[in-house]
């Protein structure tokens, strides 16, 4: 397409092309052409401007061609950009950078790396920008190759290149190499430290991340937030909340929207309702816009911390709800047994023109399960693909098994599992095993438990449930055998754990815990409560005895 366009306008390949215009006029036309390109909203608008570029002899103007390539790439027409680039006889490093960026943004990373190698072979010297650009397209091996060139060309002190190298090594799990790049950077400031903290956090090396964080002398909001987020993602919720309190005491550092969402996530996990309320009031007092990002986190926090009414108030106050907002609200209502309210919100979602996704339908099926709404649940499941074009996944099948188990249709649930097109996971089988215990179906429970025990990763819950099924039926010999088998397999039951929020601080207790700093006072108070309960029990027995005598 472009070759015929070029030849038609230029008078054929043998035509001599001269530009008689003055330099001032050329600069003015360049500015006009670049402005026209930047105003393009669709690739169909580009060819006419491209024709104008050729007609006015700007097809070899690096500034104009750079913008033409960039716009084509931005409008998802990387092939058009390739054709433009092909007709530049001696592209400079900036044009190579534009083209490589286009390949990367179009998902053609291999083409981007290939073009970079062609550039080097053509004796075009790389600069920081093109190296940073091609690193976005690299895997580990390509990263090492470019890193070697960086050192050879003397770009080792480049900040942007160093940050990108750290990020790539971190994503590949090469933390030693990432740390080496960090240590060799001339400016190891809060930005570089934040990248390295993220590298550690993503790989679960949270202690190393904390150590590096403590060494950063001047920390900004992004650095604090990265560390809090890393702790949350690594399930160190208490430490995340402690760090958030430390951030509030830091002079000149204010939490932002992302910090609030990280802390709300920790509150949700720990059930820290009062701290979650404080974060909510902080958002309102700072007059932060209740974006979907923050609003969804608040709905989730209030739902999981037990205040479903406040979750509904937040949901109603959100201006531009999205599918995630509805998913979060439906999940919260399901969690609190408000099944019909969840169904109504689902109807509202559909009526507003939103398209339900897999998460939406899991939330809705959970609502049906918690409410024992078997017929509605089966109707939703059977219409998933037909109405909403959503292929059922293991989670959706699990919801149906859970509903059938809750209403006592255990054999039907087991047949459903047997006829599924996908293999059941231990969560699904465990839920049915639990239902067997509740409804007293020892025979089916035993069959499911043995199936779980023969799997690759039986957990302590399976052993305990089967042991309890035997115990409730008086089969003590089998109960003892299961406990012995559990010990021989080296599987230990995880100790029970509870948390309590006091003065915005979370206190965690494990069964038999002696690690809490106030353990003596806690156990003393527990003994006092036990004595009070025994006294009340004796007092009740005495009253009953006297009443019986009369």
Q: Which domain holds residue 494?
A: 395-499
The per-residue pLDDT for 503 is 55
Residue 394, number of CB atoms within 10 A of its CB: 14
2 within domain boundaries: no
Are 186 and 211 a contacting pair, CB within 8 Å? Answer: no
Tell me the average pLDDT across 160-188.
Answer: 86
The per-residue pLDDT for 404 is 94
The per-residue pLDDT for 473 is 63
The per-residue pLDDT for 463 is 66
The per-residue pLDDT for 457 is 61
Q: Among 347, 366, 392, which residue terminates a domain? A: 392
Burial 280-306 (b: 16+ CB within 10 A, else e): bebbeeeeeebebebbbbbbbbbbbbe
Q: Among 373, 392, 411, which residue terminates a domain? A: 392
The per-residue pLDDT for 336 is 94
The per-residue pLDDT for 7 is 39
The DSSP secondary-structure symbol of 421 reads: S
Q: How far apart, in Å, are the Cα atoms of 162 and each of 193, 195, 514, 520?
A: 12, 10, 47, 52
488 within domain boundaries: yes
The per-residue pLDDT for 209 is 92
Are 506 and 500 a contacting pair, CB within 8 Å? Answer: yes
For a pLDDT cut of 70, what percent of the chain falls above it? 81
100 within domain boundaries: no
Q: What pLDDT band is residue 438 in, cutting at 50, 70 and 90?
A: confident
- Are residues 385 and 405 located together in one domain of the fold? no
- Are residues 487 and 538 located together in one domain of the fold? no
516 within domain boundaries: yes
Nearest 10 degrees: Cα torsion 323, 327, 333, 336 = -160
If one counts the domains in the chain, the total is 3
By C-alpha distance, which of 61, 328, 528 is closest to 69? 61
- Are residues 332 and 411 located together in one domain of the fold? no
Radius of gyration of the chain (CA): 32
Q: Distance between CA 424 and CA 440 in Å, rounded?
A: 22
Please check the confidence at residue 506 and state whether its pLDDT lies above 80.
no
- Are residues 465 and 516 located together in one domain of the fold? no
Please check the confidence at residue 76 and state whether its pLDDT lies above 80.
yes
274-326, pLDDT tens digit by residue?
889 988 988 888 777 778 889 999 999 999 999 999 999 999 999 889 999 99
- Are residues 489 and 510 located together in one domain of the fold? no
- Are residues 493 and 504 located together in one domain of the fold? no
Are 117 and 99 a contacting pair, CB within 8 Å? Answer: no
378 within domain boundaries: yes
Q: Give the pair of three-digit tokens for residue 57.
A: 């002899």
Please check the confidence at residue 16 and state whether its pLDDT lies above 50.
no
**Lowest mean pLDDT, pick from 199-203, 224-228, 436-440:** 436-440
Q: How far is CA 162 from the centre of its chain?
A: 26
By C-alpha distance, which of 471, 467, 473, 472 is closest to 449? 467
- Are residues 412 and 379 located together in one domain of the fold? no
88 within domain boundaries: no
- Residue 157, SS3? coil
Q: Among 499, 514, 530, which residue terminates a domain? A: 499
67 within domain boundaries: no
Q: Give the pair of three-digit tokens for residue 276.
A: 């979650």
| pTM of the predicted structure, to 2 decimals | 0.70
Q: Distance between CA 492 and CA 226 in Å, rounded?
A: 35
Q: What is the largest CA-CA distance in the chain?
A: 125
Q: Distance between CA 153 and CA 136 in Å, rounded?
A: 19
The per-residue pLDDT for 491 is 54
Tell me the average pLDDT across 411-429.
Answer: 90
27-49, pLDDT tens digit by residue?
888 888 888 999 989 899 889 99
Mean pLDDT score of the chain, rounded to an integer? 83
N-term to C-term CA, the chain: 108
**Lowest mean pLDDT, pick from 270-284, 396-410, 511-525, 535-549:** 535-549
Q: Distance between CA 300 and CA 318 in Å, rounded?
A: 14
Tell me the average pLDDT across 490-512.
Answer: 58
- Are residues 385 and 400 located together in one domain of the fold? no
- Are residues 385 and 412 located together in one domain of the fold? no
- Are residues 488 and 407 located together in one domain of the fold? yes
The DSSP secondary-structure symbol of 356 reads: P
Q: Distance between CA 170 and CA 501 in Å, rounded?
A: 36
**Lowest mean pLDDT, pick from 13-17, 161-165, 195-199, 423-427:** 13-17
Q: Distance between CA 486 and CA 341 in Å, rounded?
A: 43
Tell me the average pLDDT across 426-442.
Answer: 84
- Are residues 416 and 505 located together in one domain of the fold? no
Q: How far apart, in Å, are the Cα atoms of 550 and each of 543, 544, 545, 546, 547?
A: 11, 10, 9, 6, 5
Please check the confidence at residue 334 and state whether its pLDDT lies above 60.
yes
Q: What share of the chain is helix, strand, coil (3-state, %, to 5)?
A: 70, 0, 25
- Are residues 405 and 358 located together in one domain of the fold? no
164 within domain boundaries: no
Tell me the average pLDDT across 110-132.
Answer: 88
């Amino acid at each position: 397409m472009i070759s015929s366009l070029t030849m038609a306008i230029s008078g054929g390949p043998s035509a001599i092309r001269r530009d008689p215009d003055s330099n001032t006029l050329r600069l003015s036309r360049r500015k006009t052409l670049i402005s026209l390109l930047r105003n393009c909203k669709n690739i169909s608008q580009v060819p006419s401007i491209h024709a104008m570029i050729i007609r006015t002899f700007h097809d070899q103007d690096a500034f104009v061609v750079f913008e033409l390539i960039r716009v084509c790439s931005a409008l998802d027409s990387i092939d058009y950009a390739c054709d433009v680039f092909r007709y530049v006889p001696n592209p400079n490093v900036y044009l190579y950078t534009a083209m490589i960026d286009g390949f990367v943004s179009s998902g053609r990373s291999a083409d981007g790396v290939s073009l970079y190698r062609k550039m080097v072979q053509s004796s075009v010297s790389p600069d920081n920008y093109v190296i940073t650009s091609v690193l976005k397209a690299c895997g580990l091996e390509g990263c090492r190759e470019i890193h070697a060139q960086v050192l050879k060309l003397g770009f080792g002190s480049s900040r942007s290149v160093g940050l990108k190298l750290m990020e790539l090594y971190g994503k590949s799990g090469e933390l030693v190499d990432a740390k080496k790049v960090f240590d060799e950077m001339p400016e190891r400031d809060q930005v570089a430290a934040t990248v390295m903290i993220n590298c550690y956090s993503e790989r679960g090396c949270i202690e190393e991340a904390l150590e590096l964080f403590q060494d950063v002398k001047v920390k900004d909001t992004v650095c604090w937030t990265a560390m809090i987020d890393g702790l949350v993602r690594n399930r160190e919720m208490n430490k995340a909340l402690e760090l958030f309190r430390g951030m509030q005491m830091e002079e000149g550092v204010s939490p932002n929207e992302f910090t609030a969402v990280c802390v709300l996530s920790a509150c949700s996990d720990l059930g820290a309702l009062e701290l979650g309320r404080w974060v909510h009031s902080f958002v309102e007092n700072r007059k932060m816009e209740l974006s979907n990002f923050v609003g969804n986190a608040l709905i989730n926090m209030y739902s999981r911390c037990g205040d479903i009414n406040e979750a509904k108030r937040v949901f109603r106050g959100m201006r531009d709800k999205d599918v995630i907002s509805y998913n979060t609200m439906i999940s919260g209502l399901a969690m609190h047994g408000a099944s019909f309210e969840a169904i109504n919100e689902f109807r509202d979602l559909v009526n507003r023109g939103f398209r339900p996704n897999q998460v939406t339908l899991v939330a809705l099926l959970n609502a049906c399960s918690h409410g024992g709404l078997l017929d509605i649940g089966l109707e939703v499941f059977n219409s998933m693909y037909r109405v909403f074009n959503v292929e059922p996944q293991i989670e959706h099948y699990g919801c149906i098994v859970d509903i059938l188990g809750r209403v006592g249709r255990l054999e039907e649930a087991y047949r459903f599992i047997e006829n599924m097109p996908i293999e059941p996971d231990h969560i699904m089988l465990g839920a049915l095993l639990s239902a067997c215990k509740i409804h007293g179906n020892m025979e089916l429970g035993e069959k499911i438990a043995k199936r779980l025990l023969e799997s690759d990763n039986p957990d302590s819950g399976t052993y305990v449930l089967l042991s309890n099924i035997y115990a409730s039926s008086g089969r003590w010999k089998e109960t003892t055998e299961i406990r012995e088998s559990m010990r021989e397999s080296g599987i230990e039951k995880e100790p029970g754990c509870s948390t309590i929020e006091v003065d915005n601080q979370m206190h965690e207790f494990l069964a038999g815990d002696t690690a809490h700093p106030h353990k003596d006072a806690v156990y003393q108070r527990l003994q006092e409560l036990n004595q009070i309960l025994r006294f009340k029990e004796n007092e009740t027995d005495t009253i009953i005895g006297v009443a019986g005598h009369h």
